[in-house]
Structure 1
Amino acid sequence: MSERENGKVALVTGAGSGIGRACALKLLEHGYNVVLAGRRQAALDAVVQEAQPLRGEALAVPCDVTDADSVAALFETIRARFGRLDVLFNNAGRSGSPVDIDELEISEWRSIVDTNLTGVFLCTRAAFGLMKTQSPRGGRIINNGSISAHAPRPNSIGYTATKHAITGLTKSVSLDGRKYDIVCGQIDIGNAATEMAERMARGVPQANGEIAIEPLMDVQHVADAVLHMANLPLSANVQFMTIMATKMPFVGRG
């Protein structure tokens, strides 16, 4: 069976725009059947329409990853339509207001944690349960970590804390999944050119207090990297990958 007709099933959360959209289309191009999950039905439908010429089947399923019942309904749809799940890309996430910690509303903190951490937990929990009981057994979970999983930007306490937590979740799932042939890896992305990163081109605060324009990279490079991780056999795993705009101020002193 060729790569473009592989018949594998992937779930991408936050698939209506940005990195999620690019990765969903890339997987569809290479023969995956892709379930596109997100809160906005219209955005998901637009991606499905864009995917019409591609080889894989695209299925839009509205879902709020912070809601356990919504996630359960999503996975019931996957089970009913495809009977299995081979790849989960936990991509849905949100940032927070760029303020000092004492100015961040507790309600916003909880919303960030619910989306970036609890949402990943809920989807991973459901995927783990399906992957360990399906036949053939096993599957791959890929978490979107961000380079904020390594080092913070100024005034990003909620986003940075949750992305650090994703690293621990990734390691735990990678370990606990071994006996079920479930592998888990993480991709840490820096400055992919999406709607969320548009502000980088206008100038953003730096650790030294300056405002600086930062380089961006084509989001297709992220999609190619996720495809590479997804295509590996379950006997191999990219545990952590960092992909970033080469000249962005991250490594060393920038």
Structure 2
Amino acid sequence: MTNRNLTDGTHSAPVAVVTGAGSGIGRAVAEAMLSAGYRVALAGRREAPLRETAGANANALVVPTDVTVADEVKRLFDRTVEEWGRVDVLFNNAGIPGPAVSVDDLNEADWDAVVAVNLSAAMLCAREAVRTMKRQTPQGGRIINNGSIAAHSPRPQSVAYATTKHAITGLTKSIELDGRKFQISCGQIDIGNTATQIATVLATGSGAKQADGSTMREPVFPVEDAARAVLFMADLPASSNVLSMVITAAGMPFVGRG
């Protein structure tokens, strides 16, 4: 959607849904989209952080949502369509890191919680996005899934997180395939060491555990740079799609990890 036009070439401001918009990458992406002229539905469990993201921007719609609950996800998309008539972009971003334990110490409750947020919720949001994009006029849209470099190479003691992020790659490719005849594209961005609150520990203190059992501090990069990459993917014309993008902090131990 070059120049933020709709897929039919009109100049109406496109509509995006961003999950996990109350903090971190989700907040940065939502703010970048709002600054670029998008109308953005902000989804997340807690209303107060969503309102902080929205600020005074009239193009922001705050919709508190538990994305692990199908009825709430449906309400999110229904509310967005009620407000603006369509959905052009979904940034499927909500996620949790899960416990830092090896597989033999992982309990079922923690596993289920990570799968529910990182994988099942992503499917629920994609399902509603595709349903919406199929029936709207003009038909079509774009889904961008937030994966992780853990979709390529896991860190030690990250079995739940790494498994779900590998699964996101399958979700992305399946949606891209199923969406073709409906002008629905799907891509995945895998982000490594952007400077969110979660990643701050990588660059401070003892750092992060490495594959050889050591720990080291790792470089991080501004979250605004990750948001610009997502915006680039979202802004592409309907004739183009980034199926997979990897963006990391320069010099982080990812290539050659292990």
Partner SS, residue 194 of structure 1: coil
After superposition, give the CA deviation of every residue in 1:32-66 in whole Å (9 maximum; x if it has no partner): 000000011000011111x53xxx60011000111
Q: Give 1:21's match in structure 2, choosing from 3, 18, 27.
A: 27
1:90 corresponds to: 92
Partner SS, residue 188 of structure 1: strand
Greater than 3 Å deviation, 4+ residue runs:
1-6
Does the aligned pair in 2 maintain the 1:154–1:206 contact within 8 Å?
yes
Alpha-carbon separation, structure 2, partners of 1:9 and 1:199 = 34
In the TM superposition, 1:201-212 aligns within 5 A as 201-202=203-204, 203-212=207-216
After superposition, give the CA deviation of every residue in 1:161-186 in whole Å (9 maximum; x if it has no partner): 00000000000000110000000000
1:78, CA displacement in angstroms?
1.0
2:178 corresponds to: 176
Alpha-carbon separation, structure 2, partners of 1:204 and 1:217 = 16
Identify the range of structure 1 (1-10 vs 66-75) with the bigger mean alpha-carbon deviation: 1-10
Partner amino acid, structure 2, of 1:69: D
Partner amino acid, structure 2, of 1:13: T
Alpha-carbon separation, structure 2, partners of 1:192 and 1:2 = 27
Alpha-carbon separation, structure 1, partners of 2:94 and 2:167 = 15
Does the aligned pair in 2 maintain the 1:146–1:187 contact within 8 Å?
yes
Does the aligned pair in 2 maintain the 1:9–1:82 contact within 8 Å?
yes
- Please report the TM-score for the alignment, with normalisation by the length of structure 1: 0.95
After superposition, give the CA deviation of every residue in 1:222-244 in whole Å (9 maximum; x if it has no partner): 11101100000111000100000
Alpha-carbon separation, structure 1, partners of 2:52 and 2:109 = 31
Alpha-carbon separation, structure 2, partners of 1:30 and 1:39 = 25
1:222 corresponds to: 226
Alpha-carbon separation, structure 2, partners of 1:14 and 1:155 = 24
Does the aligned pair in 2 maintain the 1:6–1:32 contact within 8 Å?
no
Does the aligned pair in 1 maintain the 2:192–2:249 contact within 8 Å?
yes
1:101, CA displacement in angstroms?
1.1
Partner amino acid, structure 1, of 2:189: I
Alpha-carbon separation, structure 2, partners of 1:114 and 1:205 = 26
Aligned residues: percent identity? 55
1:151 corresponds to: 153
Alpha-carbon separation, structure 1, partners of 2:238 and 2:94 = 24
1:247 corresponds to: 251
Partner SS, residue 154 of structure 2: coil
1:253, CA displacement in angstroms?
4.4
Partner amino acid, structure 2, of 1:93: G
Partner SS, residue 132 of structure 1: helix
Partner SS, residue 168 of structure 1: helix
2:119 corresponds to: 117
1:69, CA displacement in angstroms?
1.0
Does the aligned pair in 2 maintain the 1:6–1:31 contact within 8 Å?
no
2:8 corresponds to: none
Alpha-carbon separation, structure 2, partners of 1:150 and 1:126 = 27
1:42 corresponds to: 48
Alpha-carbon separation, structure 2, partners of 1:191 and 1:12 = 20
After superposition, give the CA deviation of every residue in 1:76-135 in whole Å (9 maximum; x if it has no partner): 101211110000000000011111212112011001000000000000000000001100
Partner amino acid, structure 1, of 2:135: T
Alpha-carbon separation, structure 2, partners of 1:253 and 1:159 = 17
1:3, CA displacement in angstroms?
4.8
Alpha-carbon separation, structure 1, partners of 2:214 and 2:160 = 22
Alpha-carbon separation, structure 1, partners of 2:81 and 2:223 = 30
> How many residue pairs align between the two structures?
250
Partner amino acid, structure 2, of 1:104: L
Pair 1:2–1:160, CA change in 2 (3 A): closer
Identify the range of structure 1 (22-31 vs 71-80) with the bigger mean alpha-carbon deviation: 71-80
Q: Give 1:197's match in structure 2, choosing from 196, 199, 209.
A: 199
